[in-house]
Amino acid sequence: MKPFLPAADLKTTYDIFGHFYTVALASQETASCRSVLEIIDKSCTPSDVDKISDRQPDAVFIMMNPGSSQPLVAVNNHIAADQISELSISLVPTKPDTTQYQVMRVMRYCDWRHVRVLNLSDLRSPKSPEFIKKFTRLEAEANYDAHSIFSPARTKERIKKLPRSRQTPLVYAWGLSEKLSPLIERCLRTIPSKQSFTGLLAEGTADKYRHPLPTLQKDKLIWLDNMVRQCEA
């Protein structure tokens, strides 16, 4: 079993940057979002952090939604829903959450210097049931599916953020909820058929991959150990 590296140790190794924005819907409602997270070894961080978006990462994780991750500086980045295809990226230092520390542990053991994190949805919500209710309502009532980078409206952005090389692995880690199925199906339809991918597929499912942060500590250790074994295979 791999040692569970402490967060304090990981903080000294990696920089974390995210792109946060607020989208204004036609209904006058606004939604707080994060479109991407970049976790990069401090030795590789460029002086112009926006250039990180141009780098090709060692792996791209795809998870459920941004959770409780927050910017460490003030962000005033607003866009109208009908302009979402023109969304530009400006990265800011970001406070990681406990899920991202799990990603950093995989990075350390797999000797990855740069991992990009995308999500099935950009909607920021730390509680999964609330997130599921929100994306379901926005799609049904506001006819807004571009909260997901895997929607047709965001094709150009998605192409830039997914790996250029089919050998760069996608790591599926969005969890087991059946209520995510519409978002998972939308995501998988956009992935090139020969793209390399990995993840811990739950038994008895075709597309439900275990999340990095299960409730019990022993299960966190098991996820980490199994994930590293797969990445090293």
> Domain boundaries in the chain?
7-232
Q: How confident is the model at residue 87 (pLDDT cuts 50, 70, 90)?
A: confident
CA dist 218 and 114 (Å) reads: 27
Residue 50 has pLDDT above 80, yes or no: yes
pLDDT score for 232: 79
Q: CA dist 92 to 117, 137, 146, Å?
A: 15, 29, 22
Residue 144 has pLDDT above 80, yes or no: yes
CA dist 30 and 22 (Å) reads: 7
pLDDT score for 104: 97
Strand partners, 15: 40
**Average pLDDT over the chain, rounded to an integer:** 93
Task: Give 111 or 28, the one with higher predicted confidence.
Answer: 111
CA dist 22 and 33 (Å) reads: 6
CA dist 33 and 128 (Å) reads: 15
Q: Considering the chain, what percentage of its residues have pLDDT values greater than 70?
A: 100
Report which secondary-structure segment, H or E, holds 30. strand 30-41
pLDDT score for 180: 97
pLDDT score for 29: 87
Average pLDDT over every residue of 129-154: 93
Residue 2 has pLDDT above 80, yes or no: yes
